[in-house]
């Protein structure tokens, strides 16, 4: 029963799936943060299955329209159109499934990065403000468009495996941030950092699970994707100290979004 409660707590925190859970889900999720890659694999599976189904449905639909109205003469164009629409719908599905909470963090980090000559306090203030600056919008748009393009480049028969590994990498990046990051303020981010502080054994479990699943699915490419997730996590630890003085909830969100993009790049390349 405890395992089921932990699973529900992690799902409530990382997705918008309506599972009944009390207010303790936040502390529960923090205590078992090292299992984030497992939930990431499930999110990736849902997204991959949705993408696979959508691509095949659109292929049938647009193929029928192609034969009916164009006599099959625009076959290549319809293939690109099918993959493009499926990619847009897949990325939208991922963003909706995760409640846009990570994307919101990416916007906030972009807002803070846009202020070149500012104190840590000023950057924290603008990150928490209900505004979107040009820098925040540009960073978010760039990351989402790159992610969309990379999904488009994945072959439909491989999309489930690729998205599973990409989400595993993204969640491992967040765990890496919490494991070695520091926090200078109390908040949601600090709860996760405190739970992983000196948790070297827990991090090794998270890393081992990530490597096992990714290697089973994609071999050496899977290992490369996991390594990219660790690298993004380390990068954001350094960046967070520079702009905020420590890791925050927004840093976790931005880490997830960019780590997914980098993992897909490593897989598609």
Q: Virtual CA dihedral for 158, 159, 164, 168, nearest 10 degrees?
A: 100
Q: Of 41-55, 104-118, 130-144, 242-256, where does mean pLDDT reach its minimum? A: 104-118
Q: Virtual CA dihedral for 247, 248, 253, 257, nearest 10 degrees?
A: -30
Indicate whether 65 pLDDT > 70.
Answer: no
Question: Which pLDDT band, with edges at 50, 70 and 90, does 75 fall under?
Answer: low
Indicate whether 199 pLDDT > 80.
Answer: yes
Indicate whether 57 pLDDT > 80.
Answer: yes
**Mean pLDDT computed over 39-46:** 97
pLDDT at 138: 94
CB 85 within 8 A of CB 59: no
Length of the chain: 269
> What's the rounded Cα separation, in Å, for the pair 158 and 160?
6
Of residues 134 and 70, more confidently modeled: 134
Of residues 112 and 66, more confidently modeled: 112
> What's the rounded Cα separation, in Å, for the pair 209 and 125?
37
Q: Convert the pLDDT of each residue in 103-158 to its tens digit.
A: 888 998 888 887 766 676 777 777 777 778 888 899 999 999 999 999 999 998 99
**Mean pLDDT computed over 223-229:** 97
pLDDT at 197: 83
Tokens of 60: 């049938």
Model-wide pTM > 0.85: yes
> What's the rounded Cα separation, in Å, for the pair 170 and 41?
10
Nearest to 244 by CA among 120, 88, 67, 115: 120
Question: Which pLDDT band, with edges at 50, 70 and 90, does 183 fall under?
Answer: confident
Question: Which pLDDT band, with edges at 50, 70 and 90, does 242 fall under?
Answer: confident
Nearest to 171 by CA among 262, 96, 260, 264: 260
3-state secondary structure the chain: CHHHHHHHHHHHHHCCCCCCCCCCHHHHHHHCHHHHHHHHHHHHHHHHHHHHHHHHHHHHHHHHHHHHHHCCCCHHHHHHHHHHHHHHHHHHHHHHHCCCHHHHHHHHHHHHHCCCCCCHHHHHHHHHCCCCCHHHHHHHHHHHHHHHHHHHHCCHHHHHHHHHHHHHHHHHHHHHHHHHCCCCCCCHHHHHHHHHCCCHHHHHHHHHHHHHHHHHHHCHHHHHHHHHHHHHHHHHHHHHHHHCCCCCHHHHHHHHHHHHHHHHHHHHC
| Terminal Cα-to-Cα distance of the chain (whole angstroms) | 42
Nearest to 36 by CA among 153, 195, 182: 195
Of residues 170 and 129, more confidently modeled: 170
């Amino acid at each position: 029963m405890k395992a089921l409660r932990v699973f529900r707590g992690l799902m409530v925190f990382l997705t918008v799936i309506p599972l009944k859970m009390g207010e303790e889900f936040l502390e529960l999720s923090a205590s078992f943060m090292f299992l984030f890659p497992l939930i990431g694999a499930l999110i990736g599976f849902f997204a991959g299955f949705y993408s696979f189904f959508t691509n095949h449905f659109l292929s049938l639909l647009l193929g029928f329209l192609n034969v009916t109205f164009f006599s099959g003469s625009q076959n290549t164009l319809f293939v690109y159109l099918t993959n493009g629409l499926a990619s847009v719908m897949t990325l939208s599905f991922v963003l909706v499934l995760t409640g846009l909470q990570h994307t919101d963090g990416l916007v906030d980090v972009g807002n803070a990065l846009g202020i070149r000559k500012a104190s840590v306090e000023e950057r924290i203030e603008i990150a928490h403000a209900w505004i979107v600056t040009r820098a925040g919008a540009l960073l978010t748009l760039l990351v989402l468009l790159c992610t969309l393009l990379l999904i488009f480049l994945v072959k439909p028969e491989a999309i489930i495996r690729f998205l599973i590994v990409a989400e595993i990498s993204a969640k491992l990046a967040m765990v890496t941030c919490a494991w070695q990051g520091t926090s200078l303020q109390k908040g949601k981010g600090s709860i996760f950092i405190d739970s992983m502080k000196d948790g070297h054994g827990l991090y090794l479990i998270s890393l081992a699970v990530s490597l096992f699943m990714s290697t089973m699915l994609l071999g050496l490419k899977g290992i490369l994707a996991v390594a990219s997730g660790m690298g993004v996590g380390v990068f954001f630890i350094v960046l967070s100290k520079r702009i905020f003085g420590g890791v925050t909830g927004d840093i976790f969100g931005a880490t997830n979004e960019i780590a997914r993009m980098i993992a897909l790049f490593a897989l598609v390349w």
